[in-house]
Amino acid sequence: MKQDRQPRCGSSGAGVWSRVLAGCVLFLLLFLSSLVSAQTSSPAAVVYIAGPNNNPALTRHITNLISDALGDTAQLRPFRAGQTSHDTDSLVITLGPEAFTQVRQESRSIPVLALLVDRRFIKGYADRSDGTVGAVLYDSPLLRQAMAGKVILPHATRVAMLATPESVELYEELIPRLPDIGLEGQVFVISQASDLIPTLIRALDYGDFLLAAPDNSIYNPRTIKHLLLTTYRRNRIVIGPSQAYVKAGALASTYLPLQAIADAAAELINEYQRLGRFPPPLYPDTFRLEINRQVARSLNIPLPPREQLRAAIEEMLSSQRENSDE
């Protein structure tokens, strides 16, 4: 008569069950670990963005560009009046001087990344902020503008600039660097409004072209027509101060595309999250060139294709960087 055979401890059946049990325990441990990790991982940082009140379309567009550049590292939300009364830690992006001023009026300690501002406006705030104010500068570096004039007029040797007693400092860093690109320059100071055209005429007698800085006391809607007409009558060109002035009649200007601003802003936001401070205000390396071919034709100035001119400026910039690194 056959006897029922009982499995012995250590038999193959017991081994299978022990391995299954061990696998279940391991799976449970991994599952619990993933839950703890998900609960303790830091959420994406919240970044607020304040734009100009009169241009919500611009705010939406730049918000989308920065959101795409940031990916999952931060969430962008609209800045509301009174925001800093209950949130003094979150970073705020401002678009333009007006938005920056409004945010600073609410809080002088909240970290701010300023976009669409020029160096003259933001430099003092950044210098005094101990790293809590950063900026992607929107104006074109004057050296790059001078290079644009040089590649358009290769035989040019002298460049003239206009300034008021308050804005003459705009050109202080530029003047000693002009010889490196085959130019020399002189600043002609306008002491009072009535001296604008007489001073401009003296400047045009000196320079092969007029280099315009973002100086609203000189280059503004009230003066630009007279400045341009006087310049053309003396067969001279204006370089700068911005893309908008090229449409008005300046011959050329380098400028910063919005995508480059968004990319640079995303890098600075990530850097602030890592280090807790911003670097000094910066100019992105990326730029474009706006030219007015109608003005060039009227002055009998032959112009190569836009990209060829931009590439020539980029080559000059690269040479400058290499020389500064030596």
Residue-wise pLDDT for 251-261, tens only, equals 999 999 999 99
Query: For the sheet containing 92-95, what is the strand order?
Result: 74-78, 45-50, 92-95, 112-117, 133-137
Q: What is the pLDDT of residue 37?
A: 43
Q: Is the dihedral of CA 128, 133, 135, 139 positive or negative?
A: negative
**For residue 93, what are the contacts with CB-CB under 8 A and spacing of at least 6?**
47, 48, 49, 50, 66, 76, 112, 113, 115, 265, 269
The full DSSP string for 48-67 is EEE--TT-HHHHHHHHHHHH
Local confidence band at 273 (pLDDT 50, 70, 90 cut-offs) = very high
In 3D space, the residue among 132, 113, 4, 109 whose CA is nearest the CA of residue 51 turns out to be 113
pLDDT in tens, 38-52: 444 445 688 999 999
Q: What is the pLDDT of residue 9?
A: 44
Point out the least confidently predicted range of 211-220, 241-250, 313-322: 313-322
Q: What is the pLDDT of residue 89?
A: 79
Q: What is the pTM of this model?
A: 0.81
Is residue 242 within 8 A of residue 126, CB to CB? The reply is: no
Query: Which domains, from first to last, does the chain contain?
Result: 45-138+258-275 (3.40.50.2300), 142-255+292-325 (3.40.50.2300)
Report the mean per-residue pLDDT for the chain: 87
Residue 106: Cβ-neighbour burial (10 angstroms; 0-12, 13-18, 19+)? middle
Peptide bond into 257 cis (omega under 30): no
Local confidence band at 320 (pLDDT 50, 70, 90 cut-offs) = confident
d(CA 263, CA 88): 25
- pLDDT exceeds cutoff 50 at 1: no
**For a pLDDT cut of 90, what percent of the chain falls above it?**
75
Q: What is the pLDDT of residue 10?
A: 47
In 3D space, the residue among 99, 169, 177, 82 whose CA is nearest the CA of residue 135 turns out to be 99
d(CA 280, CA 242): 22
